[in-house]
Structure 1
């Protein structure tokens, strides 16, 4: 699976968001407007190893998915150990929470298979986004918690803190990981016993120290990132709330793949029940790591759209719960879940790379994000040369970044947006003549320069199917223009 993912990562075109994070990797800092900096450090490491290519940008995605799968399997087996078939030892306690798996298949193997069957990991591991390191560090923290429970060695709390800090450096939603661990400490007898010792407090201090540079960056930049990501809340319009809730549940069923999603939901419900009825500390840990986050995203969906990737961090714990489900009925669903997920993931890979089915944009997310960039960039460069332009510019951060990654060496690419103010990138000198590329979705007349001159239209398409239309304008840089910076180029 890792070899297949590396192949897909190497051959698939980069999405605009991936090129945006690639720009980050050329200007490393401890915080950005959108997210903490971990994705930028991962891309920098990958491009140092594999060059400034799609594989270099995405390299750590498939590798972290492989290591994370091993850690998830070890975590599940530590939380729910089983004895060899036919034995009656302390590792196979009777009762409704005993996995009862067939010979040779441990809870850990099933957990890893189920998580790998989801599009969350199958597709998420071949694109580079903040969720990629977030998913890995959440899995690693879960593994460290499982080792802590199995061994009773308090030094594992330091590892938990380090991995939680890595998750916080990846995405702000990692605060749900800390919340889940804190709830487990407070609400279980085993956790409360740990609170009387120094190790969990030291682990929390490690996480806070790792996250401190992000706090310092926000303090120096008017708390811009915290304010941007923290301003979401529920609303009071019932019709909109129902629509967003339906999108959230339907989107998760698609991203997790339907059968895996059902198994995860039932598994988490049974984990909560086992915690309440039998005070099972392992089940409590899984419930604490999933239920609060699920409730938060459901609440957010009452007022605003919850993007499908946001709940991704909940799936490692949910996959263990699904793997530890009791009863033969649920066991029979697991192989089907893995096969369905594998087939759906393969279909997405094939459509993204080859597009054998000519689907319109509204039905094909791979077209909107990945389709036609190479030919489109060549058309932009031809238009630039024809106009004798000194630069190419774009207002959309993703479009500007995609052009910066793909245009020929030596072509200056400008990005126009207030978000670039905190990067410290150089501003262009005034008086340069250039070509502004603008999606038709933004309207007809760009408000950024006085009297822009229309210079034609371009279409980004794949196999004749339109992905997006753009308008071209001749513009001139001015000292009083909005925030404009010169983006880095490959090799800079």
Structure 2
């Protein structure tokens, strides 16, 4: 006979233990996100979006305006430090957990709590601290789905149900004003109502009506701004789309990583339970299956970015919490916790490195640019000279460090064309410009636009940087040779 037999927890102890786990996971992951947000250098995309917050508008070059509005709100209330700008992303998992609990607690409060815990233990929620267009998209999408779940839990189409459908629509409209991937959520709703809830099409109609102001705002912006969002998201970024076998394989591998090994193994082992849950949790199942299928089809021609699927990420863990046998939820949580711990250990290891550790890495020049931005600008600046960069990433990072917008000199690429909205190059006619570039410049690319050119270089922590000094900037030539070419390439609106 064993001397220390295992004693199962009494039923009343389980919620208390789960509450402690929730508190520990929520607090520990929040602390790690705060640390990353406060200490990790600003990325190029974040610095680019920062300027959307400096210049609030009804839309921007690549995407609808929500992240710009969010950053503008943070700047107006708490300042513009790196931590403040990133604070919405830091707090996002807590808000999503609260939304999951609100959506699911009436179905089964214990499993709803497990859903929140499993989601909070996913490694991504320990590391997600960077502000992007996906931050408000995820927030509004999950709120919309949560409101719809609550509406669907109402036995009758009463005033409260209609109010929840309307609220879901408002949130969906806000998601659309964040990013066009909200359309996938709308498609999910359409599939759900068409397949299972035709008797509640009135609720869907109200939801759609309340969502319409979002697309209407975006349509009005595009009408007066060269259809910039449509050109970027539908045409310019998809010119190289072609089938490659590696693309769906990458998607499958990415999803296996996001689900995590422990959750994936349990999902496969208890696949019959997952199938059975699809019959009782139809909306939750649609929120998982429809996006999975949509992105699987899209992956035939496009590499699916990890961030593309994050609007639906919480629902996968909620579905597991309601589908797996109750006695296996603890094992799933432990597996997720171990996987999250490995990620935290990797992050800790990265923070123990120095610049010299990365000297032989391919990305070392980018690391120096991000960590030594102030020093680079100190070497590059001179009185009376207008500083520019040759790419949006560099210009955004340098501009954020100076808290002064830095234009991009040259044609740029199909993305991040905010200069087309903000910069009037005619104001620089006859001025002296200095362009910072990480590569040896080709003077023939600059010569048509200046009277004289001088190239200088300097070194920062072993990385060479180049300065192209041009005198008497020739705006008419630049308008014809650079801006005109960019207009023809990136604003070639289809005739229809």
TM-score higher than 0.5: yes
Q: Is contact 1:73–1:107 with CA below 8 Å preserved after alignment? A: no
2:61 and 2:168 mapped to 1: Cα distance? 27
For the residue of structure 2 that corresponds to 1:413, the secondary structure is coil
1:354-413 CA distances to partner (integer Å, 9 max, x unpaired)? 546976599898x7876652424312322323xx56122112112101111113x7x773
Matches within 5 A, 1:339-488: 339-347=337-345, 349-350=347-348, 353-355=351-353, 360=358, 373-385=370-382, 390-407=385-402, 413-416=406-409, 417=411, 419-427=417-425, 428-440=427-439, 447-450=445-448, 452-458=453-459, 470-476=465-471, 477-480=473-476, 481=478, 482-483=482-483
* Comparing 261-270 and 41-50, the one that deviates more: 261-270
1:9 and 1:23 mapped to 2: Cα distance? 18
State the 1:344 CA deviation. Answer: 3.8
Matches within 5 A, 1:83-102: none
Matches within 5 A, 1:206-225: 206-225=210-229
In structure 1, the partner of 2:53 is 25
Q: 2:255 aligns with which of 229, 242, 252?
A: 252
For the residue of structure 2 that corresponds to 1:172, the secondary structure is coil
State the 1:59 CA deviation. Answer: 1.7
Q: What is the number of residues matched between the two proteins? A: 435
Matches within 5 A, 1:176-195: 176-188=184-196, 191-195=197-201
1:144 and 1:44 mapped to 2: Cα distance? 27
Q: Is contact 1:12–1:352 with CA below 8 Å preserved after alignment? A: no
* Comparing 258-267 and 318-327, the one that deviates more: 258-267
2:365 and 2:93 mapped to 1: Cα distance? 25
Structure 2 residue 78 is the aligned partner of structure 1 residue 70: no
For the residue of structure 2 that corresponds to 1:144, the secondary structure is helix
Q: 1:201 aligns with which of 174, 188, 205?
A: 205
Q: Is contact 1:233–1:303 with CA below 8 Å preserved after alignment? A: no
Matches within 5 A, 1:172-321: 172-188=180-196, 191-195=197-201, 197=202, 199-231=203-235, 232=238, 237=243, 241-260=244-263, 271=274, 274-275=277-278, 279-280=279-280, 282=281, 284-321=282-319
Q: Is contact 1:13–1:370 with CA below 8 Å preserved after alignment? A: no
**TM-score, structure 2 normalization:** 0.77
Q: 2:66 aligns with which of 21, 38, 44?
A: 38
1:404-445 CA distances to partner (integer Å, 9 max, x unpaired)? 1113x7x773323562354244434222223212233x9755
The two structures, once aligned, show a CA RMSD in angstroms of 3.3
For the residue of structure 2 that corresponds to 1:182, the secondary structure is helix
Q: Is contact 1:233–1:300 with CA below 8 Å preserved after alignment? A: no
Q: 1:269 to 1:161 in 2, by over 3 A?
A: farther
2:422 and 2:63 mapped to 1: Cα distance? 17
For the residue of structure 2 that corresponds to 1:453, the secondary structure is strand
1:456-478 CA distances to partner (integer Å, 9 max, x unpaired)? 1545x6xx8x7xx6433223433
Q: 1:120 to 1:165 in 2, by over 3 A?
A: farther
**TM-score, structure 1 normalization:** 0.78
In structure 1, the partner of 2:42 is 14
2:269 and 2:214 mapped to 1: Cα distance? 35
Q: 1:268 to 1:116 in 2, by over 3 A?
A: farther
Q: Which runs of 5 or more structure 1 residues have no equivalent in the other structure?
A: 83-105, 485-492
For the residue of structure 2 that corresponds to 1:436, the secondary structure is strand
Q: 1:454 to 1:258 in 2, by over 3 A?
A: farther
